[in-house]
């Protein structure tokens, strides 16, 4: 199976596990409780590789598998999580210096 076909199959599998919300801003994203989505991602061997927090308290996480598939998960402070993007060929860019905050 090609990497593209594998990603589409994975997307369909994750989509079956979560419900679509009624809110307009999340119409194109699969949403559910964070624990349910994370459990489904572990079936694809994806683990959290990067996290960040924005000003409104939304947690952004990037889950990555050893095969290079990846998922971006957005989680609200209330516990609702939505899959914002999925893909393949993830590569970690290592920089020798990061800017000071």
**pLDDT band at residue 87 using 50, 70 and 90 as cut-offs:** very high
- Each as own residue / partner, the long-range contacts of residues 34-39 (CB below 8 Å, 24 or more positions apart, any chain) are 34/73, 34/75, 34/79, 34/80, 34/81, 37/73, 37/81, 37/83, 38/63, 38/73
State phi, psi for 99 to the nearest 5 degrees: -65, 150
Tens of pLDDT, residue by residue over 17-62, are: 444 344 444 445 699 999 999 999 999 999 999 999 999 999 999 9
Share of the chain above pLDDT 90, in %: 57
Partners of 59 in beta bridges: 53, 75
pTM for the structure as a whole: 0.69
């Amino acid at each position: 199976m090609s990497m593209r076909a594998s990603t589409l199959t994975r997307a369909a599998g994750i989509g079956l596990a979560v419900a679509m919300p009624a809110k307009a801003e999340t119409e194109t994203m699969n949403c559910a409780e964070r624990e349910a989505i994370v459990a489904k991602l572990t079936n694809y061997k994806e683990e959290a590789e990067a996290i960040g927090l924005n000003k409104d308290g939304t947690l952004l996480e990037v889950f990555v598998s050893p095969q290079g598939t990846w998922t971006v998960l957005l989680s609200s402070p209330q516990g609702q999580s939505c899959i914002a993007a999925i893909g393949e060929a993830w590569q970690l860019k290592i920089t020798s210096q990061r800017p000071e905050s």
